[in-house]
């Protein structure tokens, strides 16, 4: 049989510099990349072009929910691509309807729109809000400081971090930022033009801050009182990463009366386990606001993307990966907390829920003083790379762990050992 994936040409074998040169000459340099080039992966491991193995605790930034090269994803890609890859949203097909039904069943009655990315999912929510408030002249959306909502123009306008906006002004009008977990600040920011509030349940890029129960419940009440839509960006913290489908379900699971539901939720990242697919869910009363001809996406919810997403969901359920994320998350968090106690001069805090974890570095780590041009987080991540572990910096001081939901205990143990080896070296 012909090889499905032909072997890479010689240039990508054992030659990071050659791959980097291709990028330097031909790829827009909008990313700050690490000096690593990968050729393949298997489960929670990635292999670079020289064949060196790395334990992947970054998961493609919360994307590869089933790890790398999962046979169920390969099979879904092959089987569906033999039948139908794309037909356009002028027509119906079963996988999109089935995936929408599955998402609705996981949240609450409503409907789903499919796109390709987190930014596009948020754009859809912004358009729902604009449509909802249009006839009353309401258009303003309140978001949180330190939030992250994507890199489109509306996405950077919605994001509560100056660094993503700089140089791209004028921004989209209609966004106000207030401190996170501060209900009073939202109340103070209300104006006659306010139409919606958008927050993350766990701020990812902003450094792993979890929404408080009272904040979520208070926002729901405030939005109801002022006829505002309450949106949650579940792009990074969603998809079972915290132990439940959405992070608010996890945050509110103990001691709170059931019934809290936002009005809209954006999702992407893990939804296709690495295959690009995004979506937003919108609650029943608002589900038909975007009528025929008002919103579209050529590649949104293709038969191929939806078939893969349905398969990922099937595996998550069959293998109880939500529970695994909760258990492995607890195990890793406990291990990191022990490291923070043992090496307080290196790690000063551990935060997160399930397999969305972060540890904050102690300011002024002595060995990092020689190069102030790089953040402590980047320096630490580089040391972890050298020791064979991939992680993701969040801001200047926090290291994020977003591994596959099917992470094994032995892999979690190996990761902790590597983090300890780096922390121990820096502590001296």
From the list 57, 148, 231, 245, the catalytic residue is: 148
Alpha-carbon distance of 391 to 35, in angstroms, equals 14
265 lies in the site for ligand PLP, by CB under 6 A: no
Among 123, 140, 233, 360, binds ligand PLP (CB under 6 A): 233
Output 59 or 95, the one with its CB closest to ligand PLP.
59
Strand partners, 265: 232, 281
**Closest approach of ligand PLP to the CB of residue 422, in Å:** 25
CA-wise closest residue to 122 among 106, 135, 141, 95: 141
End-to-end CA distance of the chain: give it in Å, rounded.
56
Alpha-carbon distance of 11 to 308, in angstroms, equals 31
**Closest approach of ligand PLP to the CB of residue 121, in Å:** 7
Buried b (16+ CB within 10 A) or exposed e, 362-386: beebeebeeeeeebbbbbbbbbbbe
Active site residue 269: yes
β-pair type (110-115, 392-394): unpaired
Output 202 or 365, the one with its CB closest to ligand PLP.
202
Alpha-carbon distance of 15 to 35, in angstroms, equals 11
Output 235 or 310, the one with its CB closest to ligand PLP.
235
Output 282 or 383, the one with its CB closest to ligand PLP.
282
Alpha-carbon distance of 159 to 162, in angstroms, equals 8
User: Which of the ranges 28-36, 171-179, 199-207, 419-427 carries the binding residues for ligand PLP, by CB under 6 A?
Assistant: 199-207
Q: How far is CA 194 from CA 36, 131, 137, 173, 228, in A?
A: 45, 13, 9, 12, 7
Among 59, 160, 204, 395, binds ligand PLP (CB under 6 A): 204
Q: How far is CA 7 from the centre of its chain?
A: 31
- φ, ψ of residue 198 in degrees (nearest 5): -130, 125
Alpha-carbon distance of 120 to 112, in angstroms, equals 13
Residues 6+ apart with CB under 8 A from 159: 143, 147, 148, 149, 150, 165
Helix (H), strand (E) at residue 231: strand 229-233
Alpha-carbon distance of 230 to 198, in angstroms, equals 6
Active site residue 148: yes
**Closest approach of ligand PLP to the CB of residue 8, in Å:** 26
Output 76 or 268, the one with its CB closest to ligand PLP.
268
**Closest approach of ligand PLP to the CB of residue 332, in Å:** 20
Active site residue 233: yes
Among 235, 265, 306, 419, binds ligand PLP (CB under 6 A): 235
The residue sitting closest to ligand PLP, measured at its beta carbon, is 118
**Closest approach of ligand PLP to the CB of residue 202, in Å:** 9
180 lies in the site for ligand PLP, by CB under 6 A: no
Among 268, 313, 347, 353, binds ligand PLP (CB under 6 A): 268
Output 122 or 376, the one with its CB closest to ligand PLP.
122
Buried b (16+ CB within 10 A) or exposed e, 108-143: eebbbbbbbbbbbbbbbbbbbbbbbbeeeebbbbbb
Output 96 or 117, the one with its CB closest to ligand PLP.
117
Among 200, 263, 360, 411, binds ligand PLP (CB under 6 A): 200
From the list 126, 245, 269, 280, the catalytic residue is: 269
Question: Residues 116 to 175: which contact ligand PLP by CB under 6 A?
Answer: 117-119, 122, 148-150
Output 43 or 124, the one with its CB closest to ligand PLP.
124
- Dig out the tokens for 129 from the structure: 């809000």
With CB under 6 A as the rule, give the number of residues binding ligand PLP.
15
Residues 6+ apart with CB under 8 A from 25: none
User: Which of the ranges 40-48, 231-239, 241-249, 352-360 carries the binding residues for ligand PLP, by CB under 6 A?
Assistant: 231-239
User: Which of the ranges 22-30, 113-121, 377-385, 396-404 carries the binding residues for ligand PLP, by CB under 6 A?
Assistant: 113-121
Would you name the residues annotated as active-site residues?
A: 148, 233, 269
- Residues in contact with ligand PLP by CB under 6 A are 61, 117-119, 122, 148-150, 200, 204-205, 233, 235-236, 268
């Amino acid at each position: 049989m012909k090889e499905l994936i032909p072997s890479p040409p010689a240039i990508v074998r054992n030659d990071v510099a050659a791959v980097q040169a291709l990028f330097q000459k031909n790829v827009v340099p909008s990313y700050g990349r690490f000096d690593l080039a990968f050729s393949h992966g298997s489960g929670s491991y990635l292999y670079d072009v020289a064949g060196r193995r790395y334990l992947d605790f970054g998961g493609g930034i919360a994307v590869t929910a089933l790890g790398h090269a999962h046979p169920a994803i390969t099979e879904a890609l092959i089987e569906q691509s033999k039948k139908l890859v794309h037909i356009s949203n002028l027509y119906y097909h079963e996988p999109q309807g089935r995936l929408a039904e599955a998402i609705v069943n996981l949240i609450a009655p409503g409907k789903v729109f499919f796109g390709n990315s987190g930014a596009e999912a948020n754009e859809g929510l912004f358009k729902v809000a604009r449509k909802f408030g249009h006839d009353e002249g309401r258009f303003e959306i309140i978001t949180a400081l330190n939030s992250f909502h994507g890199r489109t123009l509306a996405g950077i306008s919605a994001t509560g971090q100056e660094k993503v906006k700089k140089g791209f002004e004028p921004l989209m009008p209609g966004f106000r930022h207030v401190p996170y977990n501060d209900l009073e600040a939202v109340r103070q920011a209300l104006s006659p033009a306010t139409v919606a509030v958008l927050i993350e349940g766990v701020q990812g890029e902003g450094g792993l801050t979890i929404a408080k129960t009272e904040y979520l419940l208070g926002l729901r009440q405030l939005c109801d009182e002022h006829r505002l839509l309450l949106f949650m960006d579940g792009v990074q913290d969603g998809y079972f990463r915290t132990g439940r489908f959405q992070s608010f379900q996890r945050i509110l699971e103990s001691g709170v009366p059931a019934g809290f539901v936002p009005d809209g939720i954006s999702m992407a990242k893990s939804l296709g386990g690495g295959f690009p697919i995004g979506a937003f869910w919108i609650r029943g009363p608002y589900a038909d606001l975007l009528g025929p001809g008002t919103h579209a996406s050529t590649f949104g919810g293709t038969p191929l993307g939806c078939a893969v997403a349905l398969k990922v969901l099937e595996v998550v359920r069959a293998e109880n990966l939500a529970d695994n994320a909760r258990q492995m998350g607890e195990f890793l968090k406990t291990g990191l907390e022990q490291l923070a106690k043992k090496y307080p001069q290196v790690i000063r805090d551990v935060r997160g829920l399930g397999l969305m974890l972060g540890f904050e570095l102690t300011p002024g780590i002595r060995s990092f003083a020689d190069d102030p041009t790089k953040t402590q987080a980047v320096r630490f991540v580089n040391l972890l790379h050298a020791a064979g572990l991939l992680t993701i910096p969040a801001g200047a001081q926090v290291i994020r762990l977003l591994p596959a939901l099917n992470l094994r205990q032995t892999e979690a143990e190996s990761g902790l050992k590597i983090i300890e080896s780096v922390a121990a070296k820096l502590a001296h």
